[in-house]
Amino acid sequence: MRPLAAACLAAVLAVTAAPAARADDEGLDAQVLALRVGAWIPAGPSMAGLEPGPEGELTLGVRLLSWLGAEMGAGVARPSSTSAAVRDAAGVARTVEPRLWDVPVGGGLRAFLAAGPVELSAAAGVAVHFVSAERDVASSATTAVTTEKEEDASLGGWAAVAAMVPVGRHTSLGVEGRFTVLRPHLFGERQRLDAFAAGLRIAQGF
């Protein structure tokens, strides 16, 4: 965890000490405010009953070098859900339907590469995920339906790639894909909430 913690600390220091001038002589924006809106998609085996749903993130980034930046941000994901059959620790079959909110807050580093009018970037970092989950549980042994609620704050890692094109002097538009690894403790066990996030990204420099 030490390299991840160091990357997160570097992002915090970089954002809080953002330069007021342009990052270099070519006029690159010193700060960039970016918004991503897209879809949350579970990756592989996930918490039973979770389906793709909307997600988004707002980040503030700074240019440390012409090819390197740091960013911090916060987002929200709201997976949709469906009924799923599971077995509890005693082997009793149950039907669950979860409802989940995920609010990640974190930061990382982003490397840039210009390819003609397109700016490519790759980023990685860490985030604290504030997860709130609720699920209805029906047991095969009874007809009663109970509701369980859990909350957890868990550290997760992420990596992303993006492609942006300028649509104004300080505005760019493009797409970003992100993969997150997350293992919060919910309902008495570690849940797998690894996910892809893909969507449109708009960035405003200043």
Q: List the single range of 25-29, 30-34, 53-57, 83-87 with lowest mean pLDDT.
A: 25-29
pLDDT of 204 > 60? The answer is yes
pTM as predicted = 0.81
Position 85 scores a pLDDT of 77
- Binning pLDDT at 50, 70 and 90, where does residue 158 land? very high
Give the mean model confidence (pLDDT) for residues 76-90.
Answer: 82
Position 142 scores a pLDDT of 63
d(CA 112, CA 123): 9
Q: What is the pLDDT of residues 105-131, one digit of tens each?
A: 999 999 999 999 999 999 999 999 999
Per cent of the chain over pLDDT 70 is 82
Q: List the single range of 16-20, 120-124, 157-161 with lowest mean pLDDT.
A: 16-20
Position 47 scores a pLDDT of 82
Backbone φ, ψ for residue 3 (5° rounding): -60, -40
